[in-house]
């Protein structure tokens, strides 16, 4: 990749604890002659700063790289803004788990120095497109890096819906809903729902039922290019919700159809050269940290 000349810096609004890391980051970039473009929504955290500002949604059209200071939730929102422009993202983890934002504040300067020198790994993650159709017309669209979730919203009543994959009927289900997750999202909500952990390189999608009425309804892994349709049964007495990454919601009515497929444009994500998916699982999911050595004698 070409050297980064202009870098956008963003983070989660309303999180004042990112101020110290944000100051270190922008100072570091400025000292290396890189033009910093600051997200206007967090500019108040650096009073008197000398940087140009813009809305996060506009960074993709003018930056070579965007750095997100915060947790995975912060990166999810930035990802949906950057994907149309093909601008890579790099995450500085101030959250809890941080499967996507893997640079720790204590290692900020040395790891960022390596990234600026071209010592990094570029990976691609696919997103899901969700489209809601009502009476033959599209009434809402959104995309998701982690998951598209059908759920009851404010209600505690179950939903009845039908699932079709590539125009083939799969089942009619009565449950609290369904999580449709990418490999990236398999370590998020889908994991809490009992779904499998999927390696990020897999071209696959996992469907995880939420408290299904029939215990035989189990997580289902399908090809990443599958096209899925959820049909909200007309006899439902509640108005469920479809949620994308837990950040964008579309209210549904009985009879609505949710169409879900892979988004054509992938997310470009930068990792430090020492990034290790399995080490991340060990540390963040508290797996046993040590290898077992076998004495061959």
Q: Which residues are catalytic?
A: 72
Establish whether 216 is an annotated binding residue: no
Contact 175, 156 (CB under 8 A): no
**How far apart, in whole angstroms, are the C-alpha atoms of residue 18 and residue 77?**
17
Establish whether 176 is an annotated binding residue: yes
User: What tokens were used for 246?
Assistant: 């837990």
Establish whether 73 is an annotated binding residue: yes
Establish whether 33 is an annotated binding residue: no
Establish whether 157 is an annotated binding residue: yes
User: What tokens were used for 80?
Assistant: 């949906």
**How far apart, in whole angstroms, are the C-alpha atoms of residue 150 and residue 219?**
15
Establish whether 187 is an annotated binding residue: yes
Three-state DSSP string of the chain: CCCCCEEEEEECCCCHHHHHHHHHHHHHHHHCCCEEEEECCCHHHCCCCCCEEECHHHHCCCCCEEEEEECHHHHHHHHHHHHHHCCCEEEEECCCCCCCCCECHHHHHHHHHHHHCCCEEEEEECCEEEEEEECCEEEEEEEECCEEEEECCCCCCCEEEEEEECCEEEEEEEECEEEEECCHHHHCHHHHCCCCCCCCCCCEEEEEEECCCCCCCCCEEEECCCCEEEEECCCCCCCCEEEECCCEEEECCCCCEEEEEECCCCEEEEEECCCCHHHHHHHHCCCCCCCCCCCCC
Establish whether 191 is an annotated binding residue: yes
Establish whether 247 is an annotated binding residue: yes
**How far apart, in whole angstroms, are the C-alpha atoms of residue 113 and residue 246?**
33
User: What tokens were used for 13?
Assistant: 């609004």
Establish whether 192 is an annotated binding residue: yes
**How far apart, in whole angstroms, are the C-alpha atoms of residue 269 and residue 91?**
9
The binding site for NAD(+) comprises 72-73, 146-147, 157, 174, 176, 187-192, 247
The binding site comprises 72-73, 146-147, 157, 174, 176, 187-192, 247
């Amino acid at each position: 990749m070409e050297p980064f000349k202009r870098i956008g810096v963003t983070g989660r609004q309303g999180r004042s604890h990112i101020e110290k890391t944000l100051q270190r980051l922008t100072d570091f970039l400025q000292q290396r002659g890189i033009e910093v473009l600051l997200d206007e929504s967090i500019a108040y955290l650096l009073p008197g700063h000398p940087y140009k500002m813009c809305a996060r949604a506009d960074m993709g059209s003018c930056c070579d790289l965007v750095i997100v200071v915060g947790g995975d939730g912060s990166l999810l929102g930035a990802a949906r803004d950057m994907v149309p422009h093909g601008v890579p993202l790099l995450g500085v983890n101030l959250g809890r788990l941080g499967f996507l934002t893997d640079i720790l504040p204590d290692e900020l300067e040395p790891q960022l120095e390596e990234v600026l020198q071209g010592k990094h790994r570029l990976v691609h993650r696919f997103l899901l497109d969700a489209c809601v159709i009502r009476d033959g017309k599209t009434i809402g669209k959104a995309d998701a890096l982690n998951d598209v979730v059908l759920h009851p919203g404010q209600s505690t009543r179950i939903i009845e819906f039908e699932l079709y994959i590539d125009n083939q009927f799969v089942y009619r289900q009565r449950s609290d809903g369904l999580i449709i997750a990418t490999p990236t999202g398999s370590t998020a909500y889908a994991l809490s729902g009992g779904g499998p952990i999927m390696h990020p390189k897999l071209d696959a999608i996992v469907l995880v039922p939420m408290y299904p009425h029939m215990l035989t309804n189990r997580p289902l892994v399908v090809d990443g290019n599958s096209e899925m349709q959820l049909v909200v049964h007309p006899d439902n007495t509640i108005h469920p919700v479809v949620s994308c990454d837990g950040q964008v919601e579309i209210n549904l009515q009985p009879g609505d159809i949710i169409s879900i497929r892979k988004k054509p444009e992938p997310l470009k994500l930068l990792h430090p050269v020492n990034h290790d998916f399995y080490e991340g699982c060990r540390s963040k999911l508290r797996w046993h940290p040590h290898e077992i050595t076998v004495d061959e004698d």
